[in-house]
Structure 1
């Protein structure tokens, strides 16, 4: 593996508790005494300066500094690597992030930045699971996307233990090595990416639901009953069920967030491998609308929406309405029903289901059409 030029580290609180909190202001060692005084004063710049006077392998420096020192010594990252610190949504997390960023800029890393992770805290377990771990996956995926998987590595030493599991999963999905150093280990250990990939077809088939939950945060389970029935056990791996005021909602699980972030980007860069050929412009047809009352009430808005799909998505030949229901709003998304690609239009009260005729001739191509339609919809949100 090539040395990483961008290192993404999770951040814990061991630097403060117990390390710096255990120092004494009358310590006979002048550097440790200086560090104790700076910490007591909550002077984070002075803490970073005092830490820089200690060997980075000294336990007082904390898990993040110790593990990065091991990474650099073993050549897993270049000496002046970009460093990003993903810290918790707590006062200590924010303060430690500031200390680490200042420390590494002081010791020669031009890019040393913090990334706060909303919801990553230990006071609310439900929020930790439904928001914190998902947001961690989002931030790490965004950094890997910005700098490229070949340039990145993840250091999962600091922080909550659940972060390690998410980080390893991210590494496997993104093709990025993950490193971890236990306080009793003499050196860091690596979790190299596996030479196999997750099933992109499962993501393509359920891309509408995953994109909806990613955009909305949570959606009532009752509005997605058909999609859950169609998804089976594999979809249950991607979602969490959350009760709010007596009603059950669906939200992306941390695993679902990782899968969605990973395959959405992979599909955007490799979609020509999955998609059927484009339809000739001369073969595209205007929307076919029924005469139900709901359709008559929204005819012009519905016609514009279906025409936009046909015009914007090269693989779509035409759209036709198949079902409508007054006073039953449904989320906008595209899905596969048997061998038919279907979409939903709604104004917030009425809903119309329509079929999308495309150039797809196989199940895999139809799944890819569902994915590109949901990507088109995501861009409109």
Structure 2
């Protein structure tokens, strides 16, 4: 079963008017679809006629405009009569007002798409994005959401009038910037921040972070639409990385630490549980068959671990100036660690 997340434009009204139909009541628009056929009636019906499969359901995402609501209502009624389970959802601030469209409308669209994708997966339903209808910018950002969240995206090519399918790619994006500076991204996303406050914090951070930020019309700095996509994908990675297996030795060492150092280790373990982070920030040392993490951070805390493709196993926790140098010299061998228990992060 699939759930098609379909952006809605106003081509149904435009095409109807072009044929001399000025009446915008649902009855007349439904009659127009029947008369012209799905391929000619609107961008949405045209694309859905090519991709809709038995058992699919549709969510029509429409702009905060009168025309968008009319088209979404009509499309829902049309497909409900065909026996296709459908519902509509308004996208806040997605309107013809330029200021709110750029800074808030697109982010509302992104938030809604991600919310529906997460809901679908919890329900064991495959999400699919049909990005044919709506503003051009909607198509671009809906496509970005699909690529990052591994959701197939469909749209009708304007010139060839054929469906272009972009399958979910088996390629992982690099979350290292969000992992390294997660505290900042959590802070900037939690509420609107004044430009002056953000500028003070950015002085200590790499310039690439600015690529994910924008200033709104009131002088607040927020995540840009693209920044929102990447940040929400990072949040999903964090939610999935919720546990590791820890050896009795590592756990005993952890319990002897004060609460501040324990919190530091928990943050590192949370990051380590993300596969892309393990690949980017771990190294193999000559004396061990475990990996050493993190090798590129200016931190005293270190972790010796391995993974079997399903679980991450923590053999030793260490600190420079304490036990790290000794462990590094004698080596950390997997065969010496047999007793592990689950540690929730």
User: Above 0.5 in TM-score?
Assistant: yes
1:84 aligned to which of 38, 55, 59: 59
Name which of structure 1's ranges 157-166 and 193-202 shifts more when overlaid on structure 2.
193-202
Structure 2 distance, partners of 1:19, 1:88, is 18
Q: Aligned Cα RMSD in Å?
A: 3.4
1:57 aligned to which of 35, 38, 54: 38
SS of residue matched to 2:84: coil
Pairing 1:116–2:90 present: yes
Q: 1:278, 1:314 within 8 Å by CA — same for their partners in 2?
A: no
User: How far is the alpha carbon of 1:204 from its aligned partner?
Assistant: 1.8
Pairing 1:222–2:196 present: yes
Pairing 1:93–2:68 present: yes
Does the C-alpha gap of structure 1 residues 237 and 81 become closer, same or farther in structure 2, counting only changes over 3 Å?
A: same
1:1-381 matches, within 5 Å, as: 5-16=2-13, 18-24=14-20, 36=21, 40=23, 42-44=24-26, 46-47=27-28, 49-51=30-32, 53-54=34-35, 56-59=37-40, 61-72=41-52, 78-110=53-85, 112-123=86-97, 125-148=98-121, 151-216=126-191, 218-244=192-218, 248-272=219-243, 282-283=255-256, 285=258, 315=266, 338-339=298-299
Structure 1 distance, partners of 2:193, 2:246, is 29
Q: 1:210, 1:256 within 8 Å by CA — same for their partners in 2?
A: no
Structure 1 distance, partners of 2:214, 2:298, is 26
Structure 1 distance, partners of 2:300, 2:174, is 21
SS of residue matched to 2:203: helix
User: How far is the alpha carbon of 1:269 from its aligned partner?
Assistant: 0.9
Q: Which residue of 1 aligns with 2:308?
A: none
Which stretches in structure 1 are left out of the alignment for 5+ residues? 25-35, 73-77, 289-308, 318-336, 342-358, 363-375, 377-381
Structure 2 distance, partners of 1:121, 1:340, is 51
Structure 2 distance, partners of 1:278, 1:147, is 37
Q: 2:61, 2:89 within 8 Å by CA — same for their partners in 1?
A: yes
TM-superposition CA deviations, 1:227-271 (whole Å, max 9, x none): 323332321121102352xxx321110101100111201221134
User: How far is the alpha carbon of 1:139 from its aligned partner?
Assistant: 0.5
SS of residue matched to 2:151: coil
Q: 1:48, 1:100 within 8 Å by CA — same for their partners in 2?
A: no
Structure 2 distance, partners of 1:316, 1:136, is 31
TM-superposition CA deviations, 1:87-118 (whole Å, max 9, x none): 111111122111111111111112x1112111
Structure 2 distance, partners of 1:279, 1:136, is 47
Does the C-alpha gap of structure 1 residues 250 and 279 become closer, same or farther in structure 2, counting only changes over 3 Å?
A: farther
Does the C-alpha gap of structure 1 residues 315 and 183 become closer, same or farther in structure 2, counting only changes over 3 Å?
A: closer
Structure 2 distance, partners of 1:53, 1:177, is 29
Q: 1:63, 1:183 within 8 Å by CA — same for their partners in 2?
A: no
Structure 2 distance, partners of 1:360, 1:164, is 48
Structure 1 distance, partners of 2:30, 2:163, is 25
User: How far is the alpha carbon of 1:52 from its aligned partner?
Assistant: 5.6
Does the C-alpha gap of structure 1 residues 82 and 340 become closer, same or farther in structure 2, counting only changes over 3 Å?
A: farther
Q: 1:10, 1:85 within 8 Å by CA — same for their partners in 2?
A: yes
Does the C-alpha gap of structure 1 residues 338 and 230 become closer, same or farther in structure 2, counting only changes over 3 Å?
A: farther
Q: Structure 1 length normalisation: TM-score?
A: 0.63
